[in-house]
Amino acid sequence: MSLQQQIDNYRIYFGAEMPAGKAEEVIDRWRAAAQAMAGGEGVELAAPFQRHYTTFGTGLPPNFCLALTPAEVLAFKFDPRHSQHPLDVSARQIKKEAARWPRRAVRATGVEPGKLAYGVELEIADGSGGVRTIACRTPRLSVNPAAAVMITELGGQLPAPG
């Protein structure tokens, strides 16, 4: 699905709260910020996530930015302190790489709405037939088009806004 189709899908769910041009601008800011850390790897999408504080041993920091390249999913340590988070991001907020996986090994599942954040489960195939599930969350999708598009790109289904 193209980026424009992803944005159109996002607007079906959350269109009343954000114009299409603004959604595309936010998505591009996240992509550009992650691209600065990814170096030569072409980042297609990037978005903020937070692993649940009760989930340990994942190799992920509490706050991280997922970035999709054509071949891989990269996770970077992320500093969420920004007055406009998640609508705005700067390259300074994205820190060192924390993990990387083959793109086909990562899926978003179990998307659940919450008052201030949405729960998301990342399923990561380990290559030997096993799957590791990492419980995460992301800021409200109505103001977070980058995460909404990331979730759908990784196979997740957006819940109806509530």
What is the mean predicted confidence (pLDDT) over 18-30?
84
For the chain, give the longest Cα–Cα distance: 44
pLDDT at residue 39 in the model: 80
pLDDT at residue 37 in the model: 86
pLDDT at residue 155 in the model: 93
Please state, as a whole number, how many other Cβ atoms lie within 10 Å of the Cβ of residue 8: 14
Q: Could you tell me the CA-to-CA distances from 92 to 57, 96, 118, 144, 160 in Å, in that order?
A: 26, 11, 25, 19, 33
What is the mean predicted confidence (pLDDT) over 117-141?
88
pLDDT at residue 110 in the model: 84
User: Chain-wide mean pLDDT for the chain?
Assistant: 84
What's the first-to-final CA gap in the chain, in angstroms?
A: 25
For the chain, which domains are there? Answer: 3-153 (2.30.29)
pLDDT at residue 57 in the model: 60
39-64 confidence digits (pLDDT tens)? 877 999 999 998 876 655 667 888 99
136-150 confidence digits (pLDDT tens)? 998 877 788 899 899
3-class secondary structure, 73: strand
Please indicate whether residue 8 or residue 29 has the higher confidence score (pLDDT): 29
Residue 33 in contact with residue 75, Cβ under 8 Å? Answer: no
Is residue 141 within a helix (H) or strand (E), and if so which, with residue range? none
60-115 confidence digits (pLDDT tens)? 888 999 999 999 999 999 888 776 767 778 888 899 999 999 999 999 998 888 77
- Global pTM? 0.86
What is the mean predicted confidence (pLDDT) over 2-14?
71
pLDDT exceeds 70 at position 161: no
Could you tell me the two tokens for 90?
Answer: 């700067």
